Structure formats: structure tokens, C-alpha cells
Structure 1
Amino acid sequence: MCTITPTGLPGLDLPHHGVRPTITEQFHAFDSQHPWVDRALEQLVSSSASRPARHGSA
């Protein structure tokens, strides 16, 4: 099985001393490099929460 590590992906360039970073470490690295993602998700959730729920299909 090929185990090529993609380069340039957030979180994968952490110093990990021969051990792959945990998913938590990768998340924190991505989160710190892309703070706008949290704001965009918060806006999306708040805008969808203000609309009435749709039931059934269109």
C-alpha cells in the first residue's frame, strides 16, 4: 500500500518527530491557519436557524 503524504496540506507540516500528527493536532493546525472557516460556519448556522424548517419535498 502506498503511504505518500500529500505536501502543502494544513496540519501535515507539524513537527511530529517520526509520528503522524493526531487528528486533533491536524484540526488545531487547520483551525489556526483558517480562522475565517469558523466565522463562515457560524454565519451559515445562524442564517439557517432563522429560516423556518421545510418539510416534505419541493
Structure 2
Amino acid sequence: MRAEIEQQQFFQALFQQLGQASLTQIESALAEREMVEPEPELSSQTIARLQQLLAGA
């Protein structure tokens, strides 16, 4: 239990250090990402849903 609490505290501290990205930074990162073929295990429905989510990002 103690390890979980320490891990949560570490995560919270790291999260605060990272801060927030601006919309411009997010759009830039998404534009620079490498486009690859989806994993063969993913269903066409899953791929379509992920593409919808990314298009709305």
C-alpha cells in the first residue's frame, strides 16, 4: 500500500512539473507524428473509432 501511495505522489509531482500544453503545441505534436499501419489485432471498428477521436482532437 505504501508503494502505491508513493507512486501516486510521484505521479502528481511529475504531472505538475509538466504543466499544460497549448492548443498550438498539441496540434504541432499531432502534425509531426509518424503515420504507421494499425496493429493487425485491431478490428476495423476500433480503428474507425480511434480515427474519429483523433480527428476531433
Q: TM-score, normalised by structure 2?
A: 0.31
Structure with greater proportional helix content: 2
Higher relative contact order (CA 8 A, sep 6+): 1
TM-score with structure 1 setting the length: 0.31
Larger Rg: 1
